[in-house]
Amino acid sequence: MNTAYALKNVNLIHGDSSRNLQKNMTILVNEQGLIQTIGQDNELLIPSHYTTIDLSGKYVMPGLINAHVHLFADGKPFSLSVSEGMLQFAYDRILNTKFGRNVLKKRMKRNALTALHAGVTTMRSVGEFFYTDVQLRDEINNGDFVGPNLLVSGFFLSVTGGHGAPFLALVGDSPWEARRNVRINVKHGVDLIKICVTGGVTDAKMVGEAGRLQMTVDEVAAICDEAHKIGLRVAAHVESTEGVRVALQGGVDTIEHGSEMDDEIIRLYKNNPNALNGYTALIPTLQAAYPSASLDTSVTKVSATVKENSRLVYDSMLKGVKQAIENDITIGIGTDAAMPYVTHYDMWREMDHYMRQANLNNKQVIDMVTRTNAKILGVEDVTGTVDIGKHADLIIMKQNPLEHIEALSDVSMVMVKGNLIQTPSVTRIKEVDDVLNSVW
């Protein structure tokens, strides 16, 4: 049971772009960690057993939701040119041992807590080793430690030689094998299914391979049918126009990364009869591709192939973002945290990127990273806006993020399900921050 809190004298940002900032508000959070009452300071009676925290001049908004993360790494640059033989050796002799799995779990927990202390109260993890993400989610939900709300996918589903295979994926080469792999993940307790419809930048061996089609419509449709019948969403890694078309025709619920669109694709995003809720949302990850695409290889240490693939993917992904906004396609925000130069503590950079490149304003990107992300992930009933009856997933800032989005880089308090972190602590990675600060 939590402490009951009264957050007094706050400037309230609801997370819903249709509602304006409200000044001099009080939020009551009950012992169950739910928002009990919201009202004007001078009109609200605070029960005597509530712990009152005076937040005069501070700004309160819903916790951030990162719709695309991996917990296995922290955003430090890593080499993408290791041979498959070396990877196999590292996987067998280091990672897939009792010691290796313990180290991995500790790292993943640390990264989840880094995100939470930076204001990310909900994370959708879209591809991890050994169902460690399922273990962490269960420990948080059981109250073993205070962590973010986790939605987890376990292993990718891929094809032979496909993105993430064989180390980070269950491999299947037919609709029935793909269906079986959904069942394996479901048996291990996942919240969603993540599939790889095309190749990716991180393991492409040649220019153009990142978006090469790998799954068929039949395979995607079998996965979606198997997942949807028990209410699970399907997230699809896609980095080419044709890949997006195949994923949409198969009925996926989110396109991760994305690409340039045509009229058929736009139509399918907005009205997709095979998706769980009749439409498909787009989750681009601009910051994941941008550093490798734009910085000199002497800085990023990536190969010329990775740089060129990153550029191709980034350019097409950005075109897709602009088309999505123009055509009123549902679009959320995920960072691909864990990839080189994408940390778990700087979601504001992705939001800033949208504002610079797609002419969105502060209010729009805050809505995307709270209310819209919650809707896309299917958790809008419990989080994503500051409303009575929802979880008290809140962040408190000294500055107004509606005026300066970088206010989100300095969160002074975090609350998740009513658990208050009064002095959040984030260990930043200077080598990454210095590079990213040099880009803008």
pTM, whole model, 2 decimals? 0.96
DSSP string of 298-364, one letter each residue: HHH---HHHHHHHHHHHHHHHHHHHHHHHTT--B-----BTBTT--SS-HHHHHHHHHHHH---HHH
**pLDDT at position 307:** 80
Q: Alpha-carbon distance 170 to 244, whole Å?
A: 21
Closest among 350, 355, 403, 338 to 61, alpha carbons compared: 403
Tokens 């309160």, located at residue: 60
**pLDDT at position 238:** 96
CA-CA distances (angstroms) from residue 337 to 97, 319, 424?
A: 25, 22, 19
Beta strand 233-238 with 169-171: parallel, antiparallel or unpaired? unpaired
Q: What is the mean pLDDT of the chain?
A: 93
pLDDT at 63 over 70: yes
Phi, psi of 434 (to 5 degrees): -60, -45
Amino acid at 124: R
Of the pLDDT bands very low, low, confident and very high (cuts 50, 70, 90), residue 83 is: low
pLDDT at 305 over 90: no
Backbone torsion region of residue 199, taken as left when φ is above 0, otherwise alpha when ψ lies between -120 and 50, otherwise beta: beta
pLDDT at 111 over 90: yes
| Start-end of H helices in 75-126 | 84-90, 98-117
Closest among 409, 284, 425 to 349, alpha carbons compared: 409
Of the pLDDT bands very low, low, confident and very high (cuts 50, 70, 90), residue 300 is: confident
C-alpha torsion 110→115→120→123, nearest 10: -60
- Identify the weakest region by mean pLDDT among 210-219, 288-297, 341-350: 288-297
Report all structural domains of the chain as residue ranges with CATH numbers, in order of start: 5-62+384-421 (2.30.40.10), 64-377 (3.20.20.140)
Phi, psi of 405 (to 5 degrees): -65, -25
Q: Alpha-carbon distance 35 to 30, whole Å?
A: 6
Q: Alpha-carbon distance 251 to 220, whole Å?
A: 7
Of the pLDDT bands very low, low, confident and very high (cuts 50, 70, 90), residue 1 is: low
Q: Alpha-carbon distance 229 to 395, whole Å?
A: 36
Q: What is the mean pLDDT of residues 404-429?
A: 97
Neighbouring residues of 76: CB distance < 8 A, sequence distance ≥ 6: 340, 429, 431, 432
Of the pLDDT bands very low, low, confident and very high (cuts 50, 70, 90), residue 92 is: confident
- Identify the weakest region by mean pLDDT among 24-28, 161-165, 240-244, 265-269: 161-165
Q: What is the mean pLDDT of residues 111-133?
A: 98
Neighbouring residues of 103: CB distance < 8 A, sequence distance ≥ 6: none
Q: Alpha-carbon distance 372 to 376, whole Å?
A: 6
Beta bridge partners of 52: 6
Closest among 383, 378, 403 to 395, alpha carbons compared: 383
Q: What is the mean pLDDT of residues 318-326?
A: 97
CA-CA distances (angstroms) from residue 211 to 208, 238, 254, 318, 405?
A: 6, 7, 17, 15, 32
Condensed to tens digits (0 to 9), the pLDDT of residues 6-60 reads 999 999 999 999 999 999 999 999 999 999 999 999 889 999 999 999 999 999 9
